[in-house]
């Protein structure tokens, strides 16, 4: 990683950003869309990683000078995409934050504030490995806790983070409220103001445009962890949660393998002749997803569309998706471009695999977030559909049962 000084401009480069050049280009273009901010754009040099803006009115130099510098820092923590260890994936991001905010007697810090933009953070190991249900290996790393501490220590403490579709309530909590244990003393509590962005409104518009929404549509939640987002998606489509949603829960035998899939809301008869949309946060190998789709086909559903925010796409995901489409098990797959494999793997399958751009959405919200709080943004009816604060899945399950009258 290197930092190059230019008059009134800084460019921060990191090798991993080469894979995200298209995403960063779209993100950069979004910084022309919010008129309330004066924007001084940096220039891409192979792979740019942040944009420098000021609060104020365009053209009023006195107001611009009086306001603090804000660095918008897009970053990904996704070791699987680069086949590296978690600490390697985190190193560049942590050093970037540190470099932007570090100051010494003869060196002022480059910026006063940071708005982190995280299209994807790999935090699926978000539980203690000592659970009694035997679903997890003892001693597994709690990734979200480790990442939260590192990001906060290196510069995000007291700063803001725009995060696309956090994997779980536990991950959201650990990164927004990281705690540093100190032997024989009270733990040091830190704080990152996190704005969790949902891609559900983007997908909702896509399926409406494709005429995939009717009273014959059934939305499927694969587990309690995805139920909150699925209910939000159903509401955005204008469907009835009581009659257009089926919820499952699952227990895993091992990584990427589903041991048991049980229906916790709905009944098998709801699938006969229906158009099914499975809504989840990510697609990994697509192995368990393919098995689930085969089972739903056996129950008589007419079509199946898969929607996932993140295309992790570990091997052999592409082969599994191609086979599911070729055999008619799956009719369509939708993902965002939060990870590069989603765009790279399916250039020849645009009819069946649609990639939804989220860069501009994240860029706009990052700018709004720089001058507003999470609660301010949630009070705006045009913005609130994009903001879903993760809830504890068991607590949400209890509130869901009350909503649908389930005893």
Domain spans of the chain, in order of start: 2-197, 200-357+391-404
Of 48, 37, 94, the residue nearest 70 (C-alpha): 37
Q: What average pLDDT score do residues 296-301 get?
A: 95
pLDDT tens digits, residue range 269-282?
A: 999 999 999 999 99
**Long-range contacts: 32-39, Cβ < 8 Å, 24+?**
33/360, 33/363, 33/364, 34/364, 34/367, 34/368, 36/367, 36/371, 37/367, 37/370, 37/371, 38/63, 38/64
Contact 162, 197 (CB under 8 A): yes
CATH class held by domain 200-357+391-404: alpha beta
Cβ neighbour number for residue 47 with a 10 Å cutoff: 17
Give one DSSP letter per residue of 253-305, joined into a string.
EETTEEEEEEEEES-GGGGTT-EEEEEEEEESSSHHHHHHHHHHHHTT-SEEE
Number of residues that this document lists for the chain = 407
Please determine, for residue 407, whether its predicted confidence score (pLDDT) is greater than 80: no
Q: What is the mean pLDDT of residues 175-190?
A: 75
DSSP-based three-state secondary structure for 118: strand
**Under CATH, what is the fold of the domain 2-197?**
Rossmann fold (3.40.50)
User: How does pLDDT run across 248-257, given as a tens digit for each residue?
Assistant: 997 655 443 3
What would the mean pLDDT of 338-352 be, rounded to a whole number?
81
Q: What is the pLDDT of residue 53?
A: 47
- Residue 250 falls in the annotated catalytic set: yes
pLDDT at 145: 79
Q: Is the pTM of this model over 0.85?
A: no
User: What pLDDT, on the 0 to 100 scale, is given for residue 179?
Assistant: 74
Domains 2-197 and 200-357+391-404 are alike in CATH topology:
yes
Average pLDDT rounded to a whole number, residues 203-221: 97
User: Which of 82, 138, 75 has its CA nearest to residue 312?
Assistant: 82
If pLDDT is split at 50, 70 and 90, which confidence band does 95 have?
confident
Max mean pLDDT among 4-13, 55-64, 194-203 falls in 194-203
Mean pLDDT, residues 27-43: 54
Catalytic residue from among 8, 250, 272, 402: 250
Calculated CA dihedral for residues 314, 319, 325, 327, nearest 10 degrees: -140
Which percentage of the chain shows pLDDT scores above 90? 46
pLDDT for 48 equals 38
Interval 351-367 mean pLDDT: 93
**Which of the pair, 41 or 285, is modelled with greater confidence?**
285
Q: How far apart are CA 210 and CA 347, in angstroms?
A: 19
């Amino acid at each position: 990683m290197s930092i190059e000084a230019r008059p009134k401009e800084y460019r921060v480069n990191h090798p991993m950003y080469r894979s995200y050049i298209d995403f960063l280009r779209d993100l950069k273009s979004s910084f022309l869309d919010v008129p309330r901010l004066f924007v001084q754009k940096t220039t891409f040099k192979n792979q740019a990683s942040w944009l420098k803006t000021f609060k104020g009115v365009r053209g009023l130099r006195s107001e611009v000078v009086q306001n603090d510098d804000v660095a918008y820092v897009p970053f990904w923590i996704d070791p699987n995409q680069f086949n590296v260890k978690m600490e390697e994936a985190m190193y560049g991001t942590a050093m970037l934050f540190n470099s932007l905010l570090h100051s010494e007697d003869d060196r002022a810090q480059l910026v006063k504030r940071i708005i982190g933009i995280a299209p994807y953070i790999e935090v699926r190991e978000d539980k203690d490995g000592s659970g009694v249900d035997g679903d997890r290996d003892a001693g597994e790393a709690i990734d979200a806790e480790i990442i939260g501490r590192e990001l906060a220590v290196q510069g995000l403490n007291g700063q803001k983070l725009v995060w696309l579709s956090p994997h779980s309530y536990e991950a959201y909590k650990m990164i927004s409220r990281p705690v540093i244990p100190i032997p024989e003393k009270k733990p040091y509590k830190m704080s990152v103001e996190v704005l969790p962005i949902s891609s559900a409104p983007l997908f909702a518009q896509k399926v409406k445009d494709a005429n995939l929404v009717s009273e014959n549509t059934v939305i499927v939640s694969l587990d309690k962890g995805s139920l909150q987002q699925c209910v939000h998606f159903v509401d955005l489509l204008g469907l009835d949660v009581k009659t257009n949603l089926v919820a499952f829960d699952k227990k895993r035998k091992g990584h990427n393998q589903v041991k048991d899939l049980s229906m916790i809301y709905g009944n098998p008869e709801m699938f006969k002749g229906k158009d099914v949309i499975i809504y989840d946060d990510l697609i990994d190998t697509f192995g368990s997803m393919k098995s689930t789709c085969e089972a739903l086909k056996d129950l008589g559903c007419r079509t199946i569309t898969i929607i996932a925010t993140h295309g992790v796409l570990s091997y052999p995901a592409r082969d599994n998706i191609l086979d599911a489409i070729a055999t008619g098990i799956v009719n369509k797959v939708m993902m965002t471009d939060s990870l590069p494999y989603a765009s790279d793997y399916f250039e020849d399958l645009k009819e069946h695999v649609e990639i939804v751009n989220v860069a501009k959405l994240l860029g706009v919200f990052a700018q709004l977030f720089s001058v507003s709080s999470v609660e301010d943004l949630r009070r705006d009816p045009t913005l609130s559909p994009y903001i879903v604060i993760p809830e504890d899945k068991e607590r949400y399950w209890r509130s869901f049962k009350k909503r649908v009258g389930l005893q």
